[in-house]
Amino acid sequence: SNTSDLRELIFRSDLHDQLFDRSKNFDYDWIRNTTYNLMLEYEANHLAKDHLETWIMLHVWSFIDKIFLDIDGMEIVRFKMKKKAMGRRGDLIIRKWHTEYGCGEAGKIFEGINGTKIIKEGGLKMPKMLRDMFNDLCETMKMRKDKIRKLETVGFIISDLPAGHVCRLLRTRLFEIPTQVSEFGAKVLPTMSLIWKAKAIVKNVIKLMEEEDLTEEQLKMLQNCDEVDESGLTTPPPRLQLLSSSVTPENKRKSRNDEK
């Protein structure tokens, strides 16, 4: 394929454009916009050149940030090198409000599977960050086994390899953003699919975290809330039994006249 083929696919009229529903068609729109933005870089031949880490994160891997735009309250937080001195922080944190669901580490040069970045960040630092996030999620879920066994956190290792591929992700197999547009279908699409799957994991965990737990008594009350008794009035909900608290009685002083 070439950039002309990509342009034809991107601007092809589709039913999603006529009846666009953000809640249903957002992922489709994200795929098309990601393809378009990468196509611009291919047309300018930017991906075949050497760049700083910041450029790579902004021009290539920004589609990670954008895939979460349809989740209310979700944001991708990036930390500058100076700020990373405070505690164990990644280059990229996936969070909603104050709850963290994943992280990422970025490096300028890909040194191979056994390189320093992969061993130090992917083998030591990132697992610790993911474990801390997982523990925080477990505490939020009050350590309920039925829920914490469904929890997952996601992590990315992002590195640059000027001679051949721009960046790679490691956690399953290696995924690549190639420097040549001819490899778009074989390598870019699987990478986009990986990011989409990571989003699906995060969405499932958020749903698990935010779903309300109802007791059997509450469920029974909801099931019977529309029942009507013989008098035509709806059945009142059961009263809550509160623990009684002792109240110190007021001591009334008797006057001398009362004692007489």
Q: What angle do CA 207, 209, 213 make, to 5 degrees?
A: 95
pLDDT of residue 244: 40
What is the average pLDDT across 23-51?
A: 92
Q: At 105, give phi and psi (nearest 5°).
A: -125, 135
| Cβ atoms of residues 91 and 106 within 8 Å | yes
Please give the residue that has the higher pLDDT: either 168 or 77. Answer: 77
The C-alpha angle 16, 180, 165, rounded to 5 degrees, equals: 105
E strand or H helix that includes residue 166: strand 165-169
Percent of the chain with pLDDT over 90: 26
User: How many C-beta atoms lie closer than 10 Å to residue 76's C-beta?
Assistant: 18
Predicted local distance difference test score (pLDDT) of residue 238: 47
Instruction: Tell me what pLDDT residue 254 has.
Output: 52
* Out of 46-55, 57-66, 171-180, 222-231, least confident range: 222-231
C-alpha distance from residue 81 to each of 54, 86, 102, 106 (Å):
11, 10, 19, 11
Average pLDDT, rounded, for the chain:
74
Q: How far apart are CA 20 and CA 34, in angstroms?
A: 18
**How would you class 206 by CB atoms within 10 Å of its CB: exposed for 0-12, middle for 13-18, buried for 19 or more?**
middle
The confidence band for 37, taking pLDDT boundaries of 50, 70 and 90, is: very high
Look at residue 127 in the predicted model and tell me its pLDDT: 78
Nearest in space to 126 (alpha carbons), one of 169, 165, 167: 169
Lookup result for tokens 């378009």: 36
**Residue 135 confidence (pLDDT) above 90:** no
Q: How many CB atoms lie within 10 A of CB 73?
A: 11
Quote the longest CA-to-CA distance of the chain. 111
Q: What is the dihedral of CA 232, 233, 238, 243, to 10 degrees?
A: -140
| Contact status, residue 32 vs residue 66, Cβ threshold 8 Å | no
From residue 252, alpha-carbon distances to 35, 190, 255 in Å are: 83, 82, 9
Q: Which range among 138-152, 198-212, 245-259 shows the weakest confidence by mean pLDDT?
A: 245-259
pLDDT in tens, 66-103: 999 999 999 888 765 444 444 456 678 899 988 999 88
Q: What is the pLDDT of residue 189?
A: 93
The predicted-structure confidence for 196-227, as pLDDT tens digits, reads as follows 999 999 999 999 888 766 555 655 665 565 55
Prediction pTM value: 0.69
Task: Look at strands 175-178 and 74-78 and give their pairing.
Answer: unpaired
C-alpha distances out from residue 20 to 23, 24, 173, 210, Å:
9, 8, 35, 28
